[in-house]
Amino acid sequence: MNIERRGFLLGGAIAALALCGKGYAVAGSSGGRRRTWHERLMEKGPLFIAHRGCQSLAPENTIPSFTCAARLGLQAIETDVRLTRDGALACSHDDSLKRMFGLKRKVSETDYAELKTLVPVNGNGLDVWPKELLRIPTFGEYLDVCERYDAVPFIETKGDVAVVKPVLEEVRRRGLACVAVLSSVQFDHIREARKCDKDIFIHHIFSKPEQLDELAEMGNAGLSYNYKDLSAVPDGLVAGVHAKGVKMCLRAGDTPDAVARMVALGLDYIPTNVTVPM
């Protein structure tokens, strides 16, 4: 991305956040009916998922990273959700606070009132964004961004399976059950999600072939397999998943070549770790 384009996006995202008031909360949109997840999959071109937001312009899983991804036009914004010690829903990939915040603490052992005071020591854009914007956001604040920009909430639940129910309750409360995706590496989270909600699209991360039939039986489901090298994907694998009525993606579409390969394979959506895959 050239310097001018980067500056435009950063300036626009900062301006959008500044308009949101002292707490930097982003008000939800009150427009017409939102397109469902499946309607978006039918649209022309790859459906890109901004993994942990826009990590190349702001620290992962922060309001700036989510906002930059939305302003870039990525159709879905991924985040990770965990329960704090006091039962809040916080957006953090790691349970440990060491990598992002330099602390030997765990999200699950800390109240949210303390988490929101922490400032990242790792990530892009630390010298650009106001420090008060770089705190760990709540799940509700993440959904505010998704609603404002009409982006798909691609939600990965982590930690205790108890996190799934309150996440889905908030999604349903906002009328997003047919728009959002509930994903997890942990298969018990996937089972719990389908038990709690028959409408939400569920996505199992790094699935195993023996789990395909159960996902197909659950319905309205997708999966990814853990292939780091796209050339190693066996012939017929994607067709076999599709034959079961299950959608599929692989990680990650971070280069034009990778995206082209994914499109050629017939994958349904494409996670990316970069601002734009080019």
Give me the percent of the chain exceeding a pLDDT of 70: 88
Q: For the chain, what are the domain ranges?
A: 34-78+141-272
15-50 pLDDT, tens digit per residue, is 445 433 333 333 344 456 899 999 999 998 899 999
The two structure tokens encoding residue 162: 């108890």
Determine the average pLDDT of the residues in 168-183. Answer: 97
Q: Strand, helix or coil at 192?
A: helix
Give me the percent of the chain exceeding a pLDDT of 90: 84
216-261 pLDDT, tens digit per residue, is 999 999 999 999 899 999 999 999 999 999 999 999 999 999 999 9
Whether 77 shows a pLDDT value over 50: the answer reads yes
Please name the helix (run of DSSP H) or strand (run of DSSP E) that holds residue 32, with its range, or none: none
Determine the average pLDDT of the residues in 130-149. Answer: 96
171: confidence class by pLDDT, cuts 50, 70, 90: very high
Query: What pTM did the predictor assign?
Result: 0.90
Residue identified by tokens 């489901």 is: 221
**pLDDT score at 22:** 35
DSSP letters, 161-191, are: GGGHHHHHHHHHHTT-TTT-EEEESSHHHHH
* CATH class label, 34-78+141-272: alpha beta
Distance of CA 55 to the CA centre of its chain: 12
Determine the average pLDDT of the residues in 48-56. Answer: 96
Determine the average pLDDT of the residues in 189-215. Answer: 97
Whether 12 shows a pLDDT value over 60: the answer reads no
Whether 52 shows a pLDDT value over 70: the answer reads yes
Buried-exposed string 232-249: b where 16+ CB fall within 10 A, e elsewhere:
ebeeeebeebeeeebbbb
**pLDDT score at 111:** 98
115: confidence class by pLDDT, cuts 50, 70, 90: very high
